[in-house]
Amino acid sequence: MNPIRLSICIATLDRARFLRQTLESIFPQAGPEVEVVVVDGGSSDETPVIVDEGKRRFPRLRSIRLDHPGGVDRDFDLAVSEARGDYCWLFPDDDLLKAGAISRVLQATRESREHYALVIANAEVRTADLTAAVDPVRLWLDADRTYGPKDQAQLLAETGPYLSYIGGVIIRRDLWTSRDRRAYFGSAFIHVGVIFQAPLPSDSLVISEPLITIRYGNAQWSPRSFEIWMFNWPELIWSFSHLPEEARRKVVPREPWKRAKTLLRYRAAGAYGLKEYQRWIRPRPCSSWIKLMAGLIAALPGPYVNAVARFYYSRFHPRSRLELMDMQSSRFSPGRGGAANGG
């Protein structure tokens, strides 16, 4: 029996309609060195059926079904703990592997004499239905890039924003299991906590070629986007006190919610309003001016802010495709049914 070199670890919950396509992108290119581990957080849809179908097609698919959701961080940690591979690819339940992706990653795991601690796979971005390209590549690199153990600050500064996406992470299993994970349960970014809590023991490789197709705007935590991006994400990045402030600042400001432009963008996207202000900003210690500014922006008519934002991005920042897409898919955008809901 061939030893497992790569475990593709998937945490899923009620996403059967996407999971089938994800598995279909994996099976044809997964040879004897590859297994798939699926942790189902207690789905009430057809996920168990999809998993059982997958086992019949691909015998090296193993699954763990939980009685109730443990949270995405816990579920990914469980998948890695149950994996048998030297490397674990932490993969979402709705995105797709491009043809040849697995062979490229397997090749990368053999390239380094000391073995890479971390491999980062680049990605393209498409609409949620995969019909249109949004961004051909998330990390703009001319060639593959290697970072040594002493280059952790540079690794964070240059890849940190992309690493908010878990699907690009391929990490040595023994490294993952040797590090603190529980401290990052509930953060939505356990992988970033594992990677940057301490220096990595060997080199990291970033593969410049896109190996993944991301469905943009399909995240399950989209209703919590204000909480996650304004608080969870910056608090995690700024908790890495052993890394220079300059590197952390290149990933995200310490308190992005204090910036009027940021709040306006979230208001235009339909992710910020009076409910978010009352829950997340009003109770926080900050100046009266910040609270006044934040409260006024929360009360602005969403459809009008959205219209201005769509004009701004289309006219002055046409290359900001993801931001423009956020505005176009907002509940405040015409045709989205949000104009009557000014909340």
Residues in Cβ contact with 179 at an 8 Å cutoff, skipping those fewer than 6 apart: 194, 197, 198
**The pLDDT value given to residue 343:** 42
Residue 284 C-beta-side C-alpha neighbours within 13 Å: 19
CA distance 89 to 80: 9
Q: Are strands 169-172 and 87-91 parallel, antiparallel or unpaired?
A: antiparallel
CA angle 98, 100, 106 (to 5 degrees): 120
Eight-state DSSP code of residue 67 = S
Dihedrals phi, psi of 170, to nearest 5 degrees? -120, 115
- Comparing CA positions, the residue from 123, 172, 164 lying closest to residue 9 is 172
Strands (E), the chain: 6-12, 34-40, 61-65, 87-91, 96-97, 118-126, 133-135, 145-147, 169-172, 204-215
Strand partners, 126: 133, 215
**The pLDDT value given to residue 320:** 86
CA distance 21 to 25: 6
What structural domains does the chain harbor? 6-215 (3.90.550.10), 255-328 (no CATH)
* Alpha-carbon dihedral 299, 301, 305, 306, rounded to 10 degrees: 120
| 343 residues of the chain, pLDDT tens digit each | 569 999 999 999 999 999 999 999 999 999 999 999 999 999 999 999 999 999 999 999 999 999 887 899 999 999 999 999 999 999 999 999 999 999 999 999 998 777 999 999 999 999 999 999 999 999 999 999 999 999 999 999 999 999 999 999 999 999 999 999 999 999 999 999 999 999 999 999 999 999 999 999 877 666 789 999 999 999 999 999 999 999 999 999 999 999 999 999 999 999 999 999 999 999 999 999 999 999 999 999 999 999 999 999 999 888 888 899 999 989 999 966 443 333 4
**The pLDDT value given to residue 217:** 84
